[in-house]
């Protein structure tokens, strides 16, 4: 399967969530998706990132966006992580790394001289029509969520700017 590219439609995929449900990207058509990939549950940086998304979840909802987290952890681990930190969004389990590979985040990593394959922390913004409109790769957790919110607001202002001019024209016609 080819990798996703900016301004292109993201291929549909289905993964199991921590709540046991199968979740497909197509279920979210009409909404914006903040799809974030992280290495593993219960580690300090991954916990901080999840809690940052949790703390701003109502703001994401206001901007017509759903947050979805993806890691190679199994659904049971996601369930424990979600429960422990009261996460209001779904965590998806990519055990076979198919979706991670689709987004190019399953890569060779190095830690203390040891090489291994793993997830490179990254976030992708998908618009209401299923197109990839923004990506952040090799994410640093600090201030990342505010960067994503700013991008969503910018995307929203472009859309609402178009609606406003259309409404003005409609008012003139009356």
| pTM, two decimal places | 0.88
Nearest to 15 by CA among 70, 81, 54: 70
Is the separation of the CB atoms in 59 and 28 below 8 Å? no
The whole-angstrom distance between residue 87's C-alpha and the CA centroid of its chain comes to 14
Q: Kindly list the catalytic residues.
A: 46
Q: What is the pLDDT of residues 101-110, one digit of tens each?
A: 999 999 999 9
Question: How many angstroms separate the CA atoms of 70 and 68, rounded?
Answer: 7
Would you say residue 165 has pLDDT above 70?
Answer: no
pLDDT of residue 104: 96
Question: How many angstroms separate the CA atoms of 113 and 52, rounded?
Answer: 31
pLDDT of residue 4: 87
All structural domains of the chain with their residue ranges: 14-173
Would you say residue 161 has pLDDT above 80?
Answer: no
CATH for 14-173 is 3.40.30.10
Q: What is the pLDDT of residues 28-79, one digit of tens each?
A: 999 999 999 999 999 999 999 999 999 999 999 999 999 999 999 999 999 9
Question: How many angstroms separate the CA atoms of 80 and 102, rounded?
Answer: 26
């Amino acid at each position: 399967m080819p990798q996703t590219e900016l301004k292109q439609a993201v291929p549909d995929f289905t993964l199991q969530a921590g709540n046991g449900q199968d979740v497909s990207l197509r279920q979210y058509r009409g909404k914006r998706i903040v799809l974030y990939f992280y290495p593993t549950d219960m580690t300090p940086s991954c916990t901080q990132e999840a809690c940052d998304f949790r703390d701003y979840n109502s703001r994401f909802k206001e901007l017509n966006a759903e947050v979805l987290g993806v890691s190679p952890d199994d659904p049971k681990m996601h369930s424990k992580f979600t429960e422990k930190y009261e996460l209001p969004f779904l965590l998806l389990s990519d055990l076979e790394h198919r979706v991670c590979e689709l987004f190019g985040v399953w890569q060779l990593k190095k830690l203390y001289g040891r090489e291994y394959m793993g997830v490179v922390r990254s976030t992708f913004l998908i618009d209401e029509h299923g197109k990839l409109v923004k990506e952040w790769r090799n994410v640093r957790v600090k201030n990342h969520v505010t960067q994503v919110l700013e991008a969503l607001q910018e995307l929203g202002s472009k859309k609402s700017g178009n609606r406003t001019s259309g409404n003005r024209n409609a008012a003139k016609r009356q």
